[in-house]
Amino acid sequence: MKRFWKKLAEMLVTLLGVTFLTFCLSVLAPGDPAAMVLEAGDHIVSEELLAETRHEMGLDQPFLVQYGRWLGGVAHGDLGLSYSAKKPVAEKLMEGSTGTFFLAAVTVCFMLIISLPLGIWSAVHRNRWPDYLVRVGSFIGVSMPNFWLGLILLYVFGLKLGLFPITSSSVTAKGVVLPALTLAIYQSAKYVRQVRTVILDELHQDYVVGARARGISERRILYLHILPNALLPLITLLGMSIGWLLGGVAVIEVVFSWPGIGNMAVHAITMRDYPLVEGFVLWIAIVYMVINALVDLSYAYLDPRLRRTLGKGGGN
Amino acid sequence: MSETLKGMVEALRTHRLFAVYTALVALIVLLAIFAPYLAPQDPMEGDMKNVLQTPSAAHWLGTDKLGRDTFSRIVAGTQVSLFMTLCLVLLVAVVGSVVGIVSGYFGGKVERVLMRFADMMLAFPGVVLAIAIAGILGGSVINTILALLAVAWAKYARLVRSLVVKIRNRDFILAAEVNGTRTRDILWRHILPNVLPMVVITGAMDIGTMMMEIAGLSFLGFGAQPPTPEWGLMLNEGRQYIQTAPWLMVYPGAAIFLVVTVFNLWGDSLRDVLDPRQD
C-alpha cells in the first residue's frame, strides 16, 4: 500500500512537471493566440478588440496565475476551451482518443501476429537461416523511417492497387489497416528481437533439459512449458512498447490523415491552440502512466512468486 | 579518452566488418562535407519551366514543384541531416555525462534533484514532448535539436550516474581524494575515462534513431523550414504530390533509410568491438 501511494505521488510530480514545461513554452513561444483566434474570422483586427480578446482568454494575467487557473480547472475536470474548435478541450480529446485507441489496439494485434511466431521461429532455429532471415528483417525494420514506410504502403496499396482508402475522415475498419500495419511493422522489428531473446533464455533452462530427457516432444515443450514461462517478460516488454506507440502514433496519423489524437495535436500546435496542446500532453502522460502501472500490476498478478511476497509484504 | 580512441583504431585492423562499416560512415561524412561540390545542380535554384519532371538523364531523380533537382537536394540534404544529428548526439552525450557525473560523484541533494528530473523525463513518451516543444517554439533547425535534447539527455544521465556510482568508492578514486587531487582533476582524469566508452557506444548506437526523429519532426513541419534541403522536409513536400510525382517521396526516404542503416550497423559493431562483455 505504501508503494502504491509513493507511485501515485511520483506520477503526480511527473504530470505537474511535464504540464508546467509545456505551459512555460507556450508563454515563451512566438505568436499571439488571441490574434490567431480573431484572424481565423478573416476580418481586420483592431487593437482594442485584440486587447479585449486577450483579457477574455486570460492572456493578460501573469504567467503563474494562468498556470494556477489551468491547474484549478483540471482539478475540477475542466481542461478549458479549445481556441480553434471553440469546443471544450475534453470533448476534443475524447473524439480523438477513440480513433487513436482503436488504431493502437489493431496495431498491437498485428504486432503480436507478426512478431510472436517469427521470434519463436528465430529462437528455435538459432544461428541457422530462419534466424538470420528474421534478424536481417528486424534490422531493416528498425532502420526504416516509419513515415516513409507509411507513404510507400499508401502509394502501393492505396493509390496503385486501390485496396484501401488513402485518407480517413472517420474511424473505419478499412481505413485502420494501413496505418496499423505501418506502426506494427516498426514495432515488430523491435519486439521480435525481444521475443527471440526471451525464448532463448527459457530454452536453456533446466526444466527444458528435464522435459527433453523425459522424452516429451519438442513441440509440446515449446507450447506447454516454454511459452507460459516466457509470457511474463513478454508482457512487460509489450507494455513498454505501447508507450512508444502512443508517441510514434502522431506522425503516422498525419500520414494517413487518421482522425486520432496525434493528428489533432499536430493541428493544434500549428494553430497555436495551447489549451488543446496542454490537454493533449496531460492526457497522453496519464494514459502512458496508467498503462505502465497496469503492466507492473499484471506482472505481480501473473507471477505466483511475486504474488506471495506481495501478500506477505502487504502487512506493513 | 585516448584509450577509447586507441581501441577504435586498433579494432579497424582486427575487426574486418567494423572496418567496412567505418569506411561506409566515412564515405557518408565525406559526402556531407563536400556536398556543395558534389551536387550536379544548385539544390536551391528553381526552374519553373521544368517542374515535377520524371527522373531522366538531365535530372536523375526528377525535379520538385519548383523545378529543383531532387538528386542535388538529396546530396545537399546529407550535410543538413548529418550536421543536425551529430550536433544532437554530441550535445545529448555531453549534457547527459555532466549531469550523470555530477550527481553520481557528489550524491546528496544534487543527485536527488537531478535524478528526479531525469526520471520525470523518462516517465513520459519522449516523442510527444519533442513534438510539443519543437512545435510550440516554432520550426527551425536549432529548435528541433533543443526539443530532442530536452527529452534525450535523461537516458544518458541515468546511465552515466549508474556507472559513476559503481566506481565512486573504488580504491583509485579514494586514493586520489586522499592525495588531495583537485576535484576537477578527479572528475576529468579518473571518472570520465571510465564512463566514456559506454557513452560513446550508446551515442553511436543512437545516431540512427536520432536521425529518424529529426527527420520525423521536419516531416511534421516542426523542424527545418523550406527551402532547406532536409530529407524529412522533402518527404513532407513530396507527400502532396504522391499521385503525380511519387519520386519526390521515394528517394528522400530511401536516403534516410540508407544512412540510418549504415549508422545502425556501425553502432552495433562498435559496441561489439569496444564492449566484449556482451555476447
Contact A269 B132 (CB under 8 A): yes
pLDDT for A203-250, tens place per residue?
Answer: 888 998 999 899 888 888 888 888 888 888 888 888 877 877 877 788
Residue to mutate among A183, A242, A252, A269, with most B CBs inside 10 A, is: A269
Whose CA is closest to B35, among B27, B24, B47?
Answer: B27
Residue B148: the pLDDT is 93
For A34, A273, B161, B177, the CA distances from B173, given in Å and listed in that order, are: 58, 53, 15, 6
- Chain B: nearest CA to A263, how far in angstroms? 10
Owning domain of residue B25: 2-278
- How many domains in chain B? 1
In this prediction the ipTM stands at 0.87
**Angle at CA of residue A205, ends A203 and A208, nearest 5°:** 65
Residue A229: the pLDDT is 85
- Per-residue pLDDT tens listing for chain B (279 residues): 667 778 778 878 888 889 999 999 999 999 999 988 887 887 877 777 777 777 877 777 778 777 788 888 999 999 999 999 999 999 999 999 999 999 999 988 999 889 988 888 887 778 888 888 888 888 889 999 999 999 899 999 999 999 999 998 889 989 998 998 898 899 998 999 989 989 999 999 999 999 999 999 999 988 888 888 899 999 998 888 888 888 888 899 999 999 999 999 999 999 888 875 554
Residue A310: the pLDDT is 55
The pair phi, psi for residue B109, each rounded to 5°, is -65, -40
Whose CA is closest to A177, among A113, A100, A115, A106?
Answer: A106
3-state secondary structure of B63: strand
Contact A142 B264 (CB under 8 A): yes
**DSSP state string for B14-61:** H-HHHHHHHHHHHHHHHHHHTHHHH-SS-TT---GGGTTPPS-SSSTT
Measured between alpha carbons, how far is B128 from B255 in angstroms, rounded to an integer? 25
**Given pLDDT bands bounded at 50, 70 and 90, which one contains residue A307?**
low
Q: Is the peptide bond before B227 cis (omega within 30 degrees of 0)?
A: yes
Whose CA is closest to B4, among B200, B157, B168?
Answer: B200
**Angle at CA of residue B67, ends B61 and B72, nearest 5°:** 45
Is B135 within 8 Å of chain A by CB?
yes
Cβ–Cβ < 8 Å for B212, B256: yes
Least confident of A160-169, A179-188, B95-104, B197-206: A160-169
Residues of chain A positioned with their CB less than 8 A from the CB of B135: 266, 269-270, 277
**Angle at CA of residue A268, ends A265 and A273, nearest 5°:** 135
Residue B276: the pLDDT is 59
Q: Is the pLDDT of residue A312 over 70?
A: no
Contact A277 B128 (CB under 8 A): no
Whose CA is closest to B72, among B277, B192, B227, B261?
Answer: B227
CATH number of the structural domain spanning residue B236:
1.10.3720.10
C-alpha cell at B90: 554530441
Residue B94: the pLDDT is 96
